[in-house]
Amino acid sequence: MRAESSEPKPLVSVITCVRNSEEWLEECLDSIAKQTYDGPIEVSIYNDGSSDRSEEIINEWHKKMKDGVRPNVTLVLSSNTDTQRPKGVGYGKNRAIEQSSGRFLCFFDSDDIMHEDRIQMQMEALKGTENVIVGTQVCRIPENSTPRYVNWANNLNPSELNLQIYTCFGPTVLMPTWFCDRATYDRVEGGFVEDTPTGVPEDLLFFHAHMRLGGTVARVDRVLLTYRYHEGNTTHSVTDETIWTVRLLELERNILPQWSSFIIWNAGKEGRRLYRSLQEKNRRKVTAFADVDPKKVNRVYTYEEFDGPKKPKVPIIHFSELRRGNHIVICVKLGLTKGQFEQNLQRLDLREGVDYFHFG
């Protein structure tokens, strides 16, 4: 009997940027060596001006792999030697990808831990798909760090993964869990934004570009990454105002041009902030605010910052008046009302992506 032939398993490139990560790096790299995926794995690292032992640890780990611990794991390393002038995360990711050779890209932060089935399960999830970023569920350390964020990210259903892309939380699949084929990355011209070393949400900008180009996202519904929270996380360098501006640009680019009018659900601080932030042509489309607070309902919001002879006045209605066929931007933050907002929304039987989008 002739033995069945099998194609060799494809090379997976793990894309990692490092800057002064000695505290976590050994655990991070060892988690790659423990992967159950038995095909070739390439670890492509860009060391962005580390002044600690990070590069020494990387080289020691590489030698250990070559000496027989995991010979199918190889390493590609390049470095910015200027410890005072980091190039930034977007620059580092692009360089790590450019020097890599894998058909598949597995993104991974140097302070996190991937669980042993991660690569294998995400490879399986990508089979038969095109232009998809696959994520995973995560757990946080320290335990209970950012619980509302983790609960949201871990429990979005497949439809919500592709619709709740304008919320304050950022990408619906968390960046350190991204897994895609190289063609998906190549579709986004220029890759990750490299404008400045800090303060740019390069993952969110790439995510929105991917979605605009017809890309989609999916998630393996298992915890396959331990996501570390600490004061040195690069996300802390990005301001709320920057994130707000990026989200608003996408909303005004993708959704509001399709609507002749819409309602803002939330007559409080966040809803008024959205109204004031809109381009004038979109502000004129706002026909009402909706709210649950009886002290606000049946009153009128006056746009106090309007510079003209007649200040715009927008009525405030009770949320229960909302109906299918309305267009609504919801500015209520998810997970903050002990489920009351979510229950109110469910009772209205509105269609996400048709009648409303979340912006809270």
Regarding predicted confidence, which is higher, 130 or 3?
130
Mean pLDDT to the nearest integer, 253-259: 98
Q: Is the pLDDT of residue 3 over 50?
A: no
Give domain 255-358's CATH number out of 3.40.50, 3.30.310, 1.10.3470, 3.30.160. Answer: 3.40.50
pLDDT at 335: 86
| pLDDT confidence tier of residue 308, bands split at 50, 70 and 90 | low
The 3-class SS string of the chain reads: CCCCCCCCCCCEEEEEEECCCHHHHHHHHHHHHCCCCCCCEEEEEEEECCCCCHHHHHHHHHHHHHHHHCCCEEEEEEEECCCCCCCCHHHHHHHHHHCCCCCEEEECCCCCEECCCHHHHHHHHHCCCCCEEEEEEEEEECCCCCHHHHHHHHHCCHHHHHHCCCCCCCCCCCHHHCEEEHHHHHHCCCCCCCCCCCCCCHHHHHHHHHHHCCCEEEEEEEEEEEEECCCCCHHHHCCHHHHHHHHHHHHHHHCHHHCCCEEEECCCHHHHHHHHHCCHHHHCCEEEEEECCCCCCCCEEECCCCCCCCCCEEEEEEHHHCCECECEEECCCCCCCCCHHHHHHHHHCCCECCCEEECC
Q: What percent of the chain has pLDDT above 90?
A: 82
pLDDT at 311: 77
Model pTM greater than 0.85? Answer: yes
Q: What percent of the chain has pLDDT above 70?
A: 94
Please list the residue range(s) of the chain that carry CATH number 3.90.550.10. 12-239
Please list the residue range(s) of the chain that carry CATH number 3.40.50. 255-358
| pLDDT confidence tier of residue 69, bands split at 50, 70 and 90 | confident
The CATH class for the domain spanning 12-239 reads alpha beta
**Mean pLDDT, all residues of the chain:** 93
